[in-house]
Amino acid sequence: MAEVENIVAETAERIFADLADAQTVNRDKKGGWKTPLWRALTESGLPLAWVAEDCGGSGASLAEGFSVLSAAGRFALAVPLAETMLAGWLLSQAKIASPDGAMTVAPAGPRDRITVGADGTLSGRARGVPFAGDAGHIAVLAQASGGVSIALVDGSACRIEPGLNLGGDGSDTVTFSSVTPAAIKPAPQGFDQTSLLLMGAVARSLQIAGALESMLDISVRYSNERVAFEKKISKFQAVQHNLARLAGESAAAIAAATSAADTFASGAASDDAAFLEAASAKIRCSEAAEKGAAIAHQVHGAIGFTIEHILHRYSLRALAWRDDFGSESYWAVELGKRVAARGADELWPLVASR
């Protein structure tokens, strides 16, 4: 299985390297790189990696898909690949076939609710939905009178108010006003909004960890090229100390995100251990994004803040991804509630079992 995961990840990285190189993307102000990239991704089956073959997808495992998200983070990918993968995964929970093209998921935060009316239409509002304006369809988790439903909605049937996150990518507000879904089915027993948020949190954690890897590589390379006072800045103790701190933040993020992904891939996504892994990963990766971005920009000095330099592509997206599918503070509170509910005697066994 590990060999298959490597093949999938290598395929993704090869596509990203050929069609989404950071320097090339940064110079292309009109976004002409997006169409050939999405075409290549679609031909490789990566956007629908988590969709079974009988529902029009590639039938890849969760582990294989997670490896793709890690690679996407290392390239700070600014297309809705992660969102389409999550949408396909959500639709698959209710055995709804995924359409072609880009998709996204709603709601993307814990405060928003979308409801199913007596006539089967959807109503509600979801804020901060990533790439909603670019998505042809939206996979929706809605609250129904008899439980939870999963629906496929045509994006053109919704009112979408455009917005941008810190990285300059779409973070839109989607309003459902008695929208008739293209398909709607009950969610599996026990599946709820927290299930969706946890999966999204793991995906964003992997992307943040990947972006931090690239920030570290870029910073180390720059420190070995930049000369000040007749020697490379990598020779200065203060810079070495900062790079060591950045390496530590990157390693911590990778460890937390990978551990959470492994837990979900093993099929334990419904118990307290999985909650602990996903919540902890989002918290730790969000902390690492804040600290790591600051260090990387300190190493680069003024040049790192310019629009011409590629560093901002990674740092701003890593910072923006902190807010999707539950912020760091949200998961910290929820994790505290979960631990408190279990009682003091259960805390250490829970932590030690991971």
Measured CA to CA, the distance from residue 16 to residue 313 in angstroms comes to 14
Question: In this predicted structure, which of 134-138, 228-232, 255-259 has the lowest mean pLDDT?
Answer: 228-232
Measured CA to CA, the distance from residue 275 to residue 260 in angstroms comes to 9
Average pLDDT over residues 45-57: 89
Residue range 276-286, pLDDT digits in tens: 999 999 999 99
Residue range 100-130, pLDDT digits in tens: 999 999 999 999 999 999 999 999 999 999 9
Give the C-alpha distances (Å, rounded to integers) separating 325 from 69, 108, 126, 221, 233: 15, 5, 12, 33, 39
Give the C-alpha distances (Å, rounded to integers) separating 197 from 110, 193, 212, 323: 7, 6, 22, 11
pLDDT at 54 over 50: yes
pLDDT at 1 over 80: no
Instruction: Quote the pLDDT of residue 162.
Output: 97
Domains of the chain (ranges; CATH) run 1-77 (no CATH), 102-189 (2.40.110.10), 193-352 (1.20.140.10)
Average pLDDT over residues 174-180: 96
pLDDT at 325 over 80: yes
> What is the helix (H) or strand (E) element at residue 287, kind and residue range?
helix 272-300
CB 132 within 8 A of CB 120: no
Question: In this predicted structure, which of 85-89, 216-220, 297-301, 349-353 has the lowest mean pLDDT?
Answer: 349-353
Measured CA to CA, the distance from residue 204 to residue 318 in angstroms comes to 9
Instruction: Quote the pLDDT of residue 234.
Output: 85
Measured CA to CA, the distance from residue 120 to residue 123 in angstroms comes to 10
Residue 328 vs residue 305, higher pLDDT? 328
Residues with Cβ within 8 Å of 349's Cβ and at least 6 positions away in sequence, in order, are none
- DSSP alpha helices (H): ranges in 224-271? 237-265
Residue 262 structure tokens: 């492994």
Question: In this predicted structure, which of 78-82, 101-105, 257-261, 346-350 has the lowest mean pLDDT?
Answer: 346-350
Measured CA to CA, the distance from residue 134 to residue 104 in angstroms comes to 9
Residues with Cβ within 8 Å of 187's Cβ and at least 6 positions away in sequence, in order, are 93, 94, 141, 147, 148, 149, 150
pLDDT at 64 over 90: yes
pLDDT at 26 over 80: yes
The pTM of the full predicted model, rounded to 2 decimals, is 0.94
Residue range 184-194, pLDDT digits in tens: 999 999 899 99
Q: How many helices, marked H, and strands, marked E, lie in the chain?
A: 11, 10
Measured CA to CA, the distance from residue 202 to residue 45 in angstroms comes to 21
Question: In this predicted structure, which of 80-84, 229-233, 252-256, 348-352 has the lowest mean pLDDT?
Answer: 348-352
Nearest Cα to Cα of residue 123 among 114, 134, 136: 114
CB 137 within 8 A of CB 182: yes
Instruction: Quote the pLDDT of residue 45.
Output: 93
Residue 147, beta-bridge partner list? 144
* Tokens 């492994």 -> residue: 262
Instruction: Quote the pLDDT of residue 269.
Output: 47
